[in-house]
Amino acid sequence: MDGHNAHATDCDQLHHTGMNTDKNALRKYIREMKRQFTKEDLEELSLPIISRLLANPHVASARIILMYYSLADEVCTHEAISTLLNSGKTVLLPRVIDGENMEIRIYSKPEDLALGHYGIMEPTGTLFTDYAKIDVAVIPGMAFDTEGHRLGRGKGYYDRFLPKATKAYKIGVCFDFQKQDAIPTGPYDMAMDCVL
């Protein structure tokens, strides 16, 4: 999917007063769906998604990749991070610094992780601020739609960060049951260039 066409979608036609209610209802639905699977089930379901990610030509040619260190209910990225690192790529991970913002740190070894906000393993490596050099950004979400629009957990961290990564090819990753025909979007929601 061409991300530029996705951006041209008229987001306002999906905007209405009940949007936050709709988003919260969809988050609740997805959380209920996730509870039907064990951690082991989700790890198994992650394998073909990660295979497609690693085979993606944008990922293959990227030098600097923003990943995420997955939670138990997300597409598992732990092995992919090691694979990308071992292939010589610079791997970046986000770190929540307050209620609204996250920073980006370079990940170079497992010891670069420490327990952070929301029980997430977060990086402690060198701070990375040259966001325009990020070639690919791999983004988790509660749901994605056919236009590449993303529903996050509601904190807005990625919505605030992604506009700074001006050249990054944005890849959304999720399980099939998280894919929706359409999700409510607002003016600050940034579409992905593709969803795996």
| pLDDT digits 0-9 by tens, 118-148 | 777 889 999 999 999 999 999 999 999 999 9
Q: What does the pLDDT read at residue 29?
A: 92
Averaged pLDDT, groups of 10, the chain, 196 residues long = 36 38 88 93 96 97 97 94 97 90 94 82 94 97 93 87 95 95 83 94
Q: pLDDT tens, 18-44?
A: 455 688 899 999 999 999 999 999 999
Q: What does the pLDDT read at residue 21?
A: 61
Structure tokens at 95: 């770190």
Q: What does the pLDDT read at residue 101?
A: 87
Cβ 137 vs Cβ 165: under 8 Å: yes
Q: What does the pLDDT read at residue 156?
A: 83
Between β-strands 102-107 and 90-96, what pairing exists: parallel, antiparallel or unpaired?
antiparallel
Coil/strand/helix, residue 180: strand
Q: What does the pLDDT read at residue 153?
A: 84
Q: What does the pLDDT read at residue 15?
A: 34
- DSSP code of 18? T
Structure tokens at 164: 């700074």
Write the CA distances from 136 to 6, 93, 187, integer angstroms.
17, 12, 23
